[in-house]
Amino acid sequence: MADISDKENVVVSNTKLEKVFAMRGGNGEDSYANNSQAQAKHARSMLHLLKKTLDGLRLMPAHDGAPFVIADLGCSSGSNALYMADAIVKHMTERYDASYYAAPEFSVFFSDLQSNDFNTLFQLLPPLAANYGRGGDVEGLDTAPIPHHRSYFAAGVPGSFHKRLFPARSIDVFYSTFCLHWLSQVPESVVDVRSPAYNKGKIYIHGGSESTAIAFRKQFQSDMTAFLRARSVEMKIGGSMFLAFIGRTSEDPTDQGGAGLIFGSHYQDAWDDLVQEGLITSEERDSFNIPVFASSVQEFKELVEAEGSYHIDMLQIFKGGSPLVVSHPEDATEVGQALANSCRSISGVLVDAHIGEELSNELFSRVARRGASHAKELYEQLQFFHIVASLSLA
């Protein structure tokens, strides 16, 4: 039996979660950098919606050399953040070039929790283009998805996007992709054995009780409201915000769609395996919950309207496809390992903190085996839907 006497549940504590949680860093097999190809594919498929958001911005002459400021909220540590930053800068440069105004300099803030692997992200950052920011022509730019040089100044901003991050009226464009479904904490009632919302026998809301679903939804409402209020202070008048995050098509919050299939099926079963094998206790399993909530479009719309700071310029549900990217879909072992790597890249840090790295290895090996045994069904049925929204100040 695992010794749990010196373990604390990091998920319960908001403070600890904020300090510990991050996508898995580095460049290893199960790192986020090497398991975010699906997110990259989904982001590219939404690029026309992002450009439509940017086309809605009113171009203004730069005053006193003020830059056009972009903020990526939840940047993580892979190349996807750089692709999106370049896409925004490139599109806005083209808009300025076609206008009567000279293009300003561009500044991009990459923001995530303090525990994020900023080192890996900035190692991927191309060098600043020759002469950029010195009054000369930009040299060395190309049309590759991520250019060999960049045409913006870059900086990292550590902190939670559920709080203030920037000075008032300082950001022209916010964008956040595949992040806002993450909660600031697991609702306390969900891991309280005395509460009707106690999520006994599960590690995620999917398939849980109505009381559990209500607790998760309330936490999402609180977190999203805090996010919107913070951005309403930081956004410049005339600015805009582009958001894409996991959503659901069902009105039933216990049916979490693609997120439910990721966290509530084979991943859940792997936790049960550890309990049945005596490697962890049922209490250890029950005190671990994935802090994710896939909202419906209507739930998000009601939140934005209740907060009151924004006009909804665009709001839709977008079919993103499978989160698993494999070279040989007929190879069950590859599909199973892709599932394990995907789960570990986005939640492995929390699992390591909860049960330790050795038991975490055991857990994800079982995820891989279970995924392989259901490979065809998993590959064909696992689909994500995303809520895509464009907001401007009302």
**83-92, 202-211, 296-305, 336-345: which has the highest mean pLDDT?**
296-305
Which class is 14-393 in CATH? alpha beta
* Position 374, amino acid: H
Pairwise CA distance, residues 251 & 241, whole Å: 26
Q: What is the per-residue pLDDT for 45?
A: 79
Contact 367, 343 (CB under 8 A): yes
pLDDT at 36 over 60: no
Q: CA-CA distances (angstroms) from residue 337 to 26, 42, 372?
A: 18, 21, 7
Q: Which of 10-14, 101-105, 362-366, 381-385 has the lowest mean pLDDT?
A: 10-14
DSSP state of 152: S
For residue 307, count other CB atoms closer than 10 A to its CB: 17
Domain definitions of the chain by residue range: 14-393
* Position 115, amino acid: S
Q: What is the per-residue pLDDT for 141?
A: 37
Q: Report residue 4's pLDDT band, with 50, 70 and 90 as the boundaries.
A: very low
pLDDT tens, 112-146?
998 888 988 898 898 887 766 644 343 333 334 45
SS3 148: coil
pLDDT at 246 over 50: yes
Secondary-structure breakdown of the chain: helix, strand, coil percentages, each rounded to the nearest 5: 40, 15, 40
Contact 187, 159 (CB under 8 A): no
Q: Report residue 180's pLDDT band, with 50, 70 and 90 as the boundaries.
A: very high
Burial label for 337, CB within 10 Å (0-12, 13-18, 19+), is buried
Q: Report residue 70's pLDDT band, with 50, 70 and 90 as the boundaries.
A: very high
Q: CA-CA distances (angstroms) from residue 265 to 36, 199, 285?
A: 21, 15, 14
Residue at token pair 């049916």: 255
| pTM: predicted TM-score of the whole model, two decimal places | 0.87
Q: Report residue 383's pLDDT band, with 50, 70 and 90 as the boundaries.
A: confident
Phi, psi of 237 (to 5 degrees): -60, 130
Of 40 and 373, the structure prediction assigns the larger pLDDT to 373
Q: What is the per-residue pLDDT for 23?
A: 58
pLDDT at 81 over 90: no
Pairwise CA distance, residues 206 & 199, whole Å: 10
Q: Which of 24-38, 263-277, 338-352 has the lowest mean pLDDT?
A: 24-38
pLDDT at 30 over 60: no
- Please name which of 124, 126, 118, 57 lies closest in space to residue 92, comparing C-alpha atoms: 57
**Each residue of 201-235: b (16+ CB within 10 Å) or e?**
ebbbbbbbbeebbebbbebbbbbbebbbbbbbebb
SS3 391: strand
Q: Which of 76-85, 113-122, 142-151, 228-237 has the lowest mean pLDDT?
A: 142-151
Q: What is the per-residue pLDDT for 15?
A: 39
How large is the average pLDDT for residues 46-72? Answer: 89
Q: Report residue 368's pLDDT band, with 50, 70 and 90 as the boundaries.
A: very high
Q: Which of 4-8, 231-235, 310-314 has the lowest mean pLDDT?
A: 4-8
Residue at token pair 């749990």: 4
* Position 186, amino acid: V
Pairwise CA distance, residues 196 & 206, whole Å: 16
pLDDT at 181 over 60: yes
Cα-based torsion angle of the residue sequence 329, 330, 333, 339 in order, rounded to the nearest 10 degrees: 30
Q: What is the per-residue pLDDT for 303?
A: 97
Contact 282, 328 (CB under 8 A): no
Q: What is the per-residue pLDDT for 115?
A: 84
Average pLDDT of the chain is 85
Q: What is the per-residue pLDDT for 14?
A: 41
Q: What is the per-residue pLDDT for 32?
A: 57
pLDDT-above-70 percentage for the chain: 85
Contact 59, 238 (CB under 8 A): no
Q: Which of 10-19, 63-72, 138-147 has the lowest mean pLDDT?
A: 138-147
Pairwise CA distance, residues 83 & 323, whole Å: 18
How large is the average pLDDT for residues 322-328? Answer: 80
pLDDT at 298 over 90: yes
Contacts of 142 (CB under 8 A, 6+ apart): 148, 149
How large is the average pLDDT for residues 363-391? Answer: 90
pLDDT tens, 263-288?
888 999 999 999 999 999 999 999 99
pLDDT at 95 over 70: yes
Beta 106-112 vs 153-158: how paired, if at all?
A: parallel
* Position 227, amino acid: F
pLDDT at 10 over 80: no
pLDDT at 37 over 80: no
Of 381 and 113, the structure prediction assigns the larger pLDDT to 113
Q: What is the per-residue pLDDT for 11?
A: 43
**Each residue of 144-176: b (16+ CB within 10 Å) or e?**
eebbeebbbebeebeebbbeebbeeebbbbbbb
